[in-house]
């Protein structure tokens, strides 16, 4: 306790004595110091406590800096206030004052990186308030509308005249604001409800543009999925259900245009079969002239159409994860959509030749072939999410979905991202239902296992090279004098760290699948060659988890040949 009081006094003194323009350099240190004084800060709520004075001095200085005319003062105050509210006991009046001032700071002409700190501190205060009904009444509810209004103002795109053209630049604060909205929508849906009509078009415009960063589109999809929480309590489930089915319909409508160059062989679900047939204009690329049923902007060309379906998958994935109430998920329609996406694959003379639409030109078909892997990756990612969320509920669809994924893998395993997402899907599926792999074609499944081992072969050779380089370094340093002997262990450690960093996402997914196959898959599924390859790879990798699993789950015994007497 005494030590923490000393730290608090020192922090308050440094905040006061240090010139304001130099405070940003020590802001992180001051925040860490305040965070380490949890006992003293929480005890200060007792007015008879002896540490009231240093805490009062600290809070007074923070309030003064927050009203400072310089950016340095406001920035430092926001950083330390965030640490303070996360550590000290809640106190309505001072939190309300800080929150009101921070929201006002968003309207000042400060650099956008400083405003990101303001946003982070504001959201932290609002989220901490939701644990206390009193703080919600006194702090969050009165000021949340002003905060949403301020965020809508600061993310307006800026326009710049370049010759005869006007260029519009997206606000660099847009990702941070999206993140703030998605966090707050979990707890303050009713308060944010009046702003839905202004928030939704912004998110839809981001999700409609194929040139936007995928991370930004993920955030936009997260906000759109969370907007269902703004509905009245008795209408949330109905709105979620109708929105989800609308996304499925929009995806099918888009695929009707994107896949028009292929004669699809499929038995559509009721939702798909009820759609009216489209009269295509083959003299121009596939396009839409109006907003689609989901509210997204028109698109033109195979590339944009494919990206539209990918973004619809992204949106549906966020909706599946964000539903906070029981909801009716149309599993059959989702599997039908995924089956349709996985059924159209790149032609191969030896394996697969689709029925082509002669009215569609060669250029459009080739553009479709080049876009398919990215679309299939999105479908695999969505399939993994469904398996994670619903688990055994999907048991009746495991056979259909898993065989589709295996056929897709066999056709497009040359694409690294297809292999990556296939490994992730199968790892998730086997961990959910180990016997799911007994419902698939054994030969194709064993080909998947062998491909997993091949992808880990590069990691094995890389480990061998690192080990050889490490051994050479050890021999070199061992020959030096005693003072340099300490470098031996550091070289070995650095080598191991480099090896960990150099592992690609594909290698990590393959390594996880290797261990999962040996741990949970019935031994009778593997052919003798595939099981030998799995065990060999585990030994060469020195993967302890896979090695233990191999011992505990031995290969299936083959029937012995009759003995001769």
The tens digit of pLDDT for each residue in 26-81 reads: 999 999 999 999 888 888 766 555 667 888 899 999 999 999 999 999 999 999 99
Helices (DSSP H) in 274-361: which residue ranges? 302-322, 331-343
Q: Are 21 and 56 in contact (CB under 8 A)?
A: no
Choosing from 399, 423, 440, the residue where a domain stops is 440
The mean-pLDDT minimum among 73-82, 163-172, 268-277 falls in 268-277
CA 404, CA 401: separation in Å to the nearest integer?
Answer: 5
Choosing from 408, 440, 472, the residue where a domain stops is 440
The pLDDT score that the predictor gives to residue 481 is: 47
Q: What is the DSSP string of 352-386?
A: B-PEE-TTS-HHHHHHHHHHHHHHHHHHHHHHHHH
Residue 162 lies in a domain: no
**pLDDT at 269 > cutoff 70:** no
Residues 288, 202, single domain; the answer is no
CA 242, CA 264: separation in Å to the nearest integer?
Answer: 27
CA 50, CA 9: separation in Å to the nearest integer?
Answer: 12
The pLDDT score that the predictor gives to residue 479 is: 54
Residue 475 confidence class, pLDDT cut points 50, 70, 90: low
Instruction: State whether residue 166 is helix, strand or coil.
Output: strand
CB neighbour class for 196 (10 Å; exposed up to 12, middle 13-18, buried from 19): middle
Residues 389, 277, single domain; the answer is yes
Residue 345 lies in a domain: yes
Q: How far is CA 5 from CA 10, 14, 413, 536, in A?
A: 9, 14, 62, 60
Residues 197, 253, single domain; the answer is no
**pLDDT at 494 > cutoff 50:** no
Q: Which residues pair with 262 in a beta bridge?
A: 356
Residues 187, 316, single domain; the answer is no
**pLDDT at 493 > cutoff 50:** no
Residues 362, 427, single domain; the answer is yes
The mean-pLDDT minimum among 197-206, 330-339, 434-443 falls in 434-443
Q: Can you tell me which residue has the tokens 């004669």? A: 263
Residue 485 confidence class, pLDDT cut points 50, 70, 90: very low
Residues 138, 80, single domain; the answer is yes
Name the token pair of 184: 């707050």
Q: Are 475 and 465 in contact (CB under 8 A)?
A: no
Residue 549 lies in a domain: no
**pLDDT at 212 > cutoff 60:** yes
Q: What angle do CA 325, 326, 331 make, to 5 degrees?
A: 130
Residue 276 lies in a domain: yes
Q: How many domains, the chain?
A: 2
The pLDDT score that the predictor gives to residue 363 is: 94
Residues 180, 261, single domain; the answer is no
Mean pLDDT of 387-393: 89
Name the percent of the chain lying above pLDDT 90. Answer: 68
Residue 488 lies in a domain: no
Residue 496 lies in a domain: no
Choosing from 163, 182, 214, the residue where a domain stops is 214
Highest mean pLDDT: which range of 24-33, 267-276, 353-362: 24-33
Q: CA neighbours within 13 Å on the CB side: how many for 63?
A: 13
pTM above 0.75, yes or no: yes
The pLDDT score that the predictor gives to residue 46 is: 64
CA 229, CA 283: separation in Å to the nearest integer?
Answer: 44
- CATH for 9: 1.25.10
Of 169, 11, 13, 188, which is closest to residue 84 (Cα–Cα)? 11
**pLDDT at 165 > cutoff 80:** no
Mean pLDDT of 531-545: 95
Residues 184, 129, single domain; the answer is yes
CA 304, CA 292: separation in Å to the nearest integer?
Answer: 13
Give, as one character, the DSSP assignment of residue 46. Answer: S
CB neighbour class for 326 (10 Å; exposed up to 12, middle 13-18, buried from 19): exposed
Mean pLDDT of 438-452: 94
Rounded to 5 degrees, what are φ and ψ at 501? -70, -30
Q: Supply the range of the domain harboring residue 340.
A: 233-440
Name the token pair of 39: 């006992």
Tell how strand 355-356 and strand 165-169 pair up: unpaired
Mean pLDDT of 321-331: 81
The pLDDT score that the predictor gives to residue 492 is: 44
Of 60, 96, 93, 54, which is closest to residue 77 (Cα–Cα)? 60
The pLDDT score that the predictor gives to residue 73 is: 97
Residues 144, 272, single domain; the answer is no
Of 62, 38, 316, 315, which is closest to residue 203 (Cα–Cα)? 315
The mean-pLDDT minimum among 187-196, 210-219, 232-241 falls in 232-241
**pLDDT at 325 > cutoff 50:** yes
Residues 131, 247, single domain; the answer is no
Q: Are 513 and 426 in contact (CB under 8 A)?
A: yes
Q: Can you tell me which residue has the tokens 């996402």? A: 505
Q: What is the torsion angle, in degrees rounded to the nearest 10, for the CA atoms of residue 266, residue 272, residue 276 and residue 277? A: -20
Mean pLDDT of 527-548: 95
Q: What angle do CA 389, 394, 397 make, to 5 degrees?
A: 140
Residue 226 lies in a domain: no
Name the token pair of 510: 């393959």
Residues 427, 336, single domain; the answer is yes
Mean pLDDT of 535-551: 95
Q: Are 135 and 95 in contact (CB under 8 A)?
A: yes
Average pLDDT, the chain: 88
Residue 553 lies in a domain: no
Name the token pair of 89: 């006991």
Helices (DSSP H) in 392-485: which residue ranges? 395-412, 416-432, 442-478
Helix (H) or strand (E) holding 188: none
Number of CB atoms found within 10 A of residue 305's CB: 27
Name the token pair of 216: 């930004």
Residues 291, 187, single domain; the answer is no
Q: Are 236 and 228 in contact (CB under 8 A)?
A: yes
The pLDDT score that the predictor gives to residue 281 is: 85
């Amino acid at each position: 306790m005494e030590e923490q009081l000393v730290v608090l006094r020192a922090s308050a003194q440094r905040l006061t004595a240090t010139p304001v323009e130099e405070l940003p350099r020590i802001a992180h240190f001051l925040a860490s110091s305040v965070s380490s004084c949890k006992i003293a800060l929480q005890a200060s709520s007792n007015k008879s406590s002896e540490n009231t004075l240093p805490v009062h001095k600290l809070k007074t200085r923070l309030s003064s800096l927050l009203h400072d005319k310089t950016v340095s003062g406001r920035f430092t105050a926001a950083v330390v206030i965030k640490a303070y509210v996360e550590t000290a006991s809640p106190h309505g009046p001072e939190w309300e004052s800080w929150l009101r001032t921070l929201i006002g700071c968003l309207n000042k002409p400060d650099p956008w990186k400083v405003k990101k700190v303001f946003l982070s501190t504001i959201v932290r205060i609002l989220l901490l308030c939701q644990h206390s009904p009193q703080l919600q009444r006194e702090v969050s509810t009165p000021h949340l509308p002003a905060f949403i209004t301020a965020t809508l103002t600061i993310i307006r795109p800026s326009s710049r005249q370049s010759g005869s053209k006007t260029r519009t630049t997206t606000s660099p604060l847009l990702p941070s604001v999206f993140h703030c909205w998605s966090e707050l929508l979990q707890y303050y849906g009713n308060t944010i409800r009046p702003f839905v009509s202004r928030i939704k078009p912004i998110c839809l415009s981001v999700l409609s543009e194929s040139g936007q960063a995928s991370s930004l589109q993920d955030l936009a999809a997260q906000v759109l999925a969370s907007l269902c929480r703004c509905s009245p309590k008795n209408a949330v489930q109905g709105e979620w259900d109708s929105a989800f089915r609308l996304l499925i319909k929009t995806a099918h409508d888009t695929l009707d245009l994107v896949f028009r160059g292929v004669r699809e062989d499929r038995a559509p679900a009721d939702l798909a079969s009820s759609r009216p047939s489209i009269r295509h204009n083959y003299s121009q690329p596939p396009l839409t002239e109006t907003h689609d049923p989901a509210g997204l902007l028109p698109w033109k060309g195979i590339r944009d159409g494919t990206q539209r379906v990918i973004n619809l998958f992204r949106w549906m994935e966020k909706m599946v994860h964000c539903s906070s109430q029981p909801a009716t998920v149309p599993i059959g329609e989702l599997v039908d959509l995924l089956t349709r996406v996985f059924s159209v694959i790149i032609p191969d003379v030896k394996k697969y030749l689709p029925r082509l639409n002669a009215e569609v030109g060669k250029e459009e078909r080739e553009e479709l072939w080049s876009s398919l892997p990215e679309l299939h990756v999105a479908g695999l990612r969505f399939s993994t999410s469904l398996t994670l969320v619903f688990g055994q509920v999907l048991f009746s669809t495991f056979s259909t979905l898993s065989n589709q994924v295996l056929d897709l893998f066999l056709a497009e395993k040359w694409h690294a991202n297809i292999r990556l997402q296939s490994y992730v899907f199968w790892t998730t599926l086997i961990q959910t239902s180990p016997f799911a792999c007994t419902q698939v074609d054994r030969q194709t499944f064993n080909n998947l296992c062998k491909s997993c081992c091949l992808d880990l072969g590069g990691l094995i050779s890389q480990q061998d090279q690192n080990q050889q380089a490490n051994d050479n370094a050890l021999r070199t340093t061992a020959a030096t004098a005693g003072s340099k002997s300490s470098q031996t262990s550091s070289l070995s450690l650095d080598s191991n760290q480099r090896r960990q960093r150099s592992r690609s996402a594909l290698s990590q997914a393959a390594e996880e699948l290797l261990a999962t196959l040996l741990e949970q898959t019935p031994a009778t599924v593997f052919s003798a060659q595939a099981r030998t390859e799995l065990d060999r790879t585990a030994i060469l990798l020195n993967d302890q988890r896979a090695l233990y699993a191999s011992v505990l789950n031995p290969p299936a015994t083959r029937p012995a040949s009759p003995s001769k007497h």
